[in-house]
Amino acid sequence: RWGRGLGWPGSGGIRGGAAMDLFGDLRRMNKRQLYYQVLNFAMIVSSALMIWKGLIVITGSESPIVVVLSGSMEPAFHRGDLLFLTNFHDDPIRAGEIVVFKVEGRDIPIVHRVIKVHEKGNGNIKFLTKGDNNEVDDRGLYKEGQNWLEKKDVVGRARGFLPYVGMVTIIMNDYPKFKYALLAVMGAYVLLKRES
């Protein structure tokens, strides 16, 4: 796994001495300083959550930012690209648009292009998707007996992207030890950082 933690020799990672320094710093802090640092950490976490909820309201999407996890949309998007989504229900879905959709029975949303749209007189829309890099359409990915997607299946529509920025997310999902080590280091930094 990536790096096998942070403590192998010669890596410059956290070793026994550095870990002891962290605990020594914690012991030297008085209670007021420790409460202040814990409060700072809580404010950072709550600010991030408020920003995320704000993005959900502004974009109309339950997941306003997603990471491309496969190469099925190459060359339009590559694995690790960060997509920005909107999901305004008034906007009609059109062929050629890139949508992120969820299928019943699958936890991870899929990023693919709309290739066919069937619009009925009553305004109901059904559509079919396909990955740009795939040979066949997505009917094999939909739940059994489902041949078309509907608006309710859409999480959002791609409106912009940042290339490869999401690789950090992929690495953290592929290597959970790295994720926990990174979170521990960030938490320790916030708790132990002193005002100058």
Mean pLDDT computed over every residue of the chain? 83
Strands 65-67 and 154-162: unpaired
Distances (CA, A) of 101 to 32, 85, 104, 116, 195: 48, 11, 10, 15, 45
Sequence-distant (≥ 6) Cβ neighbours of residue 85 within 8 angstroms: 59, 61, 63, 64, 65, 66, 100, 155, 156, 157, 158, 159
Higher pLDDT: 24 or 159? It is 159
* pTM exceeding 0.75: no
- Residue 81, φ and ψ in degrees, nearest 5: -70, 145
Q: Return the structure tokens found at 166.
A: 């999401």
- 72, 112 Cβ separation under 8 angstroms: yes
pLDDT, tens only, 54-108? 999 999 999 999 999 999 999 999 999 999 999 998 888 999 999 999 998 888 8
- Which amino acids are annotated catalytic? 72, 112, 138
